[in-house]
């Protein structure tokens, strides 16, 4: 009988295609909008990814990586003295402005790293050499937002707060949430670029001794210094959480995703329901000739799950096609975690079960005597 159920499904081509289109479009909408949302959220933590430190130490009240609350200079040796710290390095991170040779000005993310270790700069060097950062006026820029700096080459110059900066390296970094270019230099030179303030150190990057986990070290630092300490993953979710709570991004995307769910569910469930209703006489005939209710329900579930899984496959396929057309690290933020695909699959299963239950309930309620009505 299950084979008959599939032939009934595939045989009604108009309804079958309508069901497939509805489900595929719904899955595409959910996963595509979800991927852009995840991509944007991931970009809020681009600085954390680009820096790559296991433990971030900051003011305990910090809300996100962009919400810099500067530390005192004395905090660096305090962190270094914590049990379990192998070494700790200062990091300066500020949004400031660059004056371009064209006369335009552009916001940049200035990152100052320890001059000896140069830790905190992405290691994917596209052009030039990071070792030249110790030369006067030397900076490295990231390649994801070069156009904002006028597509400069090596040895091009621009100014940061009226002080000249010369590009000695171009590195590959993840694009920031605001698409501001990252400008990397040594910590001491970054201090020169910034107006003089009492506190300038943004973070301390701490590295654990062998055998000590990042989680344990973060707890140890918090306990011994009273500062905030986060593992890379904790800081990432802390930052994402801040943007989720304090921006309209989740709501805006949520509305679109919800509409996708609603449209998909409505189209699919309604079309499937109509499909079953149109076949009610056939189901009545099956019932009359002795097909049990359990078999009928399983036939309906097989039909709905088959079309749902096919719709899911096509939707994800279209998503992959869409994703393949997006340049990596380009303007469009796009990231598809497996959890998003799992959520879309759960949605499809829910739709499938829901449609089966509604349609199945009607089939169970039909009297087989319906078959004698003309």
Interface residues with other proteins (CB under 8 A)?
1, 3-4, 7-8, 10-12, 281-282, 284-293, 295, 367-369, 371-374
Cβ at position 277, least distance to other proteins in Å: 15
Q: Which is nearer to other proteins, 14 or 211 (CB)?
A: 14
Q: Which is nearer to other proteins, 18 or 51 (CB)?
A: 18
Cβ at position 301, least distance to other proteins in Å: 17
CA 71 vs. chain centroid, Å, equals 29
> For residue 103, what is the DSSP state?
S
CA-based torsion, 218, 221, 222, 224: positive or negative = positive
Cα separation, 293 vs 295, whole angstroms? 5
98 and 149 Cβ atoms separated by less than 8 Å: yes
Cβ at position 313, least distance to other proteins in Å: 23
Cβ at position 2, least distance to other proteins in Å: 9
Residues 6+ positions from 243 with CB-CB distance below 8 Å:
41, 44, 64, 177, 249
147 and 106 Cβ atoms separated by less than 8 Å: no
In whole angstroms, how far apart are CA 244 and each of 37, 38, 164, 305?
A: 10, 11, 38, 34
Q: Which is nearer to other proteins, 239 or 303 (CB)?
A: 303
Cβ at position 283, least distance to other proteins in Å: 10
Q: Which is nearer to other proteins, 277 or 342 (CB)?
A: 277
Q: Which is nearer to other proteins, 262 or 369 (CB)?
A: 369
Residues 6+ positions from 254 with CB-CB distance below 8 Å:
none
Nearest partner of 171 among 136, 132, 137, judged by Cα: 132
Cβ at position 284, least distance to other proteins in Å: 8
Q: Which is nearer to other proteins, 42 or 287 (CB)?
A: 287
Phi and psi dihedrals of 104, rounded to 5? -75, 160
Give the burial string for 255-290 (b: 16+ CB within 10 Å, else e).
Answer: ebbeebbeebbebbbebbbebbeebeeebbebbeee
Q: Which is nearer to other proteins, 164 or 281 (CB)?
A: 281
Cβ at position 258, least distance to other proteins in Å: 35
């Amino acid at each position: 009988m299950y084979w008959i159920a599939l032939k009934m499904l595939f045989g009604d081509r108009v309804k079958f295609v309508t069901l497939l289109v509805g489900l595929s479009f719904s899955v595409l909408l959910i996963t595509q909008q979800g991927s852009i949302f995840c991509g944007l959220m991931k970009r809020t933590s681009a600085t954390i990814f680009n820096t790559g430190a296991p433990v971030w130490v900051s003011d305990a009240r910090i809300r996100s990586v962009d919400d810099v609350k500067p530390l005192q200079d004395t905090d660096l040796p305090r962190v270094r003295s914590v049990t379990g710290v192998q070494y700790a390095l200062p990091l300066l991170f500020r949004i400031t402005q660059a004056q371009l040779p064209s006369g335009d000005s552009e916001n940049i993310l200035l990152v100052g790293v320890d001059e000896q270790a140069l830790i905190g700069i992405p290691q994917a060097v596209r052009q030039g050499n990071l070792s030249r950062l110790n030369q006067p006026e030397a900076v490295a820029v990231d390649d994801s937002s070069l156009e904002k700096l006028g597509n400069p080459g090596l040895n091009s110059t621009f100014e940061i707060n009226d002080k000249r900066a010369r590009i000695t390296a171009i590195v590959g970094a993840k694009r920031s949430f605001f698409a501001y270019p990252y400008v990397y230099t040594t910590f001491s030179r970054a201090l020169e670029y910034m107006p003089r303030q009492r506190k300038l150190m943004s973070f301390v990057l701490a590295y654990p001794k062998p055998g000590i986990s990042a989680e344990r070290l973060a707890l140890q630092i918090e306990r011994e210094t009273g500062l905030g300490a986060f593992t890379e993953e904790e800081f990432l979710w802390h930052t994402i959480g801040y943007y989720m709570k304090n921006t309209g991004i989740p709501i805006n995307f949520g509305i679109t995703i919800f509409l996708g769910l609603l449209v998909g569910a409505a189209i699919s469930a309604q079309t499937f329901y109509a499909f079953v209703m149109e076949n009610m006489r056939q189901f009545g005939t099956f019932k009359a000739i002795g097909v049990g209710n359990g078999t009928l329900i399983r036939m309906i579930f097989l039909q709905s799950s088959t079309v749902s899984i096919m719709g899911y496959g096509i939707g994800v396929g279209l998503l992959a096609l869409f994703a393949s057309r997006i340049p990596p690290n380009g303007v469009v933020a796009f990231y598809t975690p497996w959890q998003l695909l799992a959520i879309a699959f759960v949605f499809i299963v829910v739709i499938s079960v829901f449609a089966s239950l509604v349609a199945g309930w009607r089939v169970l309620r039909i009297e087989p005597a319906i078959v004698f009505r003309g």
